[in-house]
Structure 1
């Protein structure tokens, strides 16, 4: 896994990402949803590739100076190899470049591994959403990372 690259997602990645999505989530987004996201001017998505194969992705919506992370996903066989960290790091760098005030996300209360990853990057639990997940009604933590305003 020496050839992992992180790039902006393109239309050419969508079919492969939609297949990856099915392996990662109980209620996966459709290929059409990803195609729509590629047309969404607020959407910023990244893809992780291993020798050209899509192995993960992450993205956020840039809305009014805040980044709302929609998804972070890595194929099960590639997890625990730093790919999620690479994707989150890229989103943070981009958020800083865009001068966003914060990044926020929802994460399943049962997903301790993801919570640990987000905490490592400075995300804090700021609240919860009851029965957030449609597949099983599980609650979600709301986690946020704030950025210091840059002096102009």
Structure 2
């Protein structure tokens, strides 16, 4: 029930395009003391394994995420929701999109770093099933602040766990 409520916020998640940059930068600067610049975004998004997504509500960009694809994991590099749209399911919708990219066989976890002072982000990701797995000392270039390395591990369904066995037994029979 809770999940249905969260996804009914009318949020559409799509690929980030160049003309989204002014809205993304506005959210970034509003959300973070040490904000990424446009050059930071462009440098990151030009990498082959880096993907940008935006969350739209009523044709307005209300959130974004930047993540990297790795062989066995996804790594969130930047994630923000406009302050007027927080606690309305926007962040959940963006994370649900990432959860849908996980599988038992391939990418089975999502990683991210969260500033030690960003309690809202820590609690948000914890509520989605992320766990802090280590402390990264003096992680940021702009401060001496530490970060928590957080991880979400994919939990395969019973069907997924038994599917290979079912295929083998059908082939053997």
Tell me the TM-score range normalised by the shorter chain: 0.7 to 0.9
1:21-36 alignment to 2 at 5 Å?
21-36=28-43
1:95 match: secondary structure: coil
Q: Which runs of 5+ in 1 are unaligned?
A: none
1:14 match: secondary structure: helix
Residues 37, 136 of structure 1: alpha-carbon distance in 2 compared, 3 angstrom cutoff: closer
Q: Distance in 1 between matches of 2:44 and 2:145?
A: 26
Q: Distance in 1 between matches of 2:16 and 2:105?
A: 17
Residues 121, 99 of structure 1: alpha-carbon distance in 2 compared, 3 angstrom cutoff: farther
Native 8 Å contact 2:9 2:90 kept in 1: no
Q: Distance in 2 between matches of 1:117 and 1:43?
A: 23
1:7-86 alignment to 2 at 5 Å?
7-86=14-93
Q: How many residue pairs get matched?
A: 152
Q: Per residue, is there more strand in 1 or in 2?
A: 1
Q: Per residue, is there more helix in 1 or in 2?
A: 2
Give the CA deviation at 1:6.
1.4
What's the CA shift string for 1:91-150, capped at 9, x where partnerless? 221234993131111112232222222122221111011122344422111111122576
The equivalent residue for 1:122 is 129
The equivalent residue for 1:93 is 100
Residues 98, 71 of structure 1: alpha-carbon distance in 2 compared, 3 angstrom cutoff: farther
Residues 98, 15 of structure 1: alpha-carbon distance in 2 compared, 3 angstrom cutoff: farther
Native 8 Å contact 2:11 2:93 kept in 1: no
The alignment's C-alpha RMSD in Å is 2.4
TM-score by length of 1: 0.85
1:94 match: secondary structure: coil
The equivalent residue for 2:171 is none
Q: Which runs of 5+ in 2 are unaligned?
A: 1-7, 165-173
Q: Distance in 1 between matches of 2:20 and 2:107?
A: 26
The structure with the largest alpha-carbon Rg is 2
2:101 match: secondary structure: helix
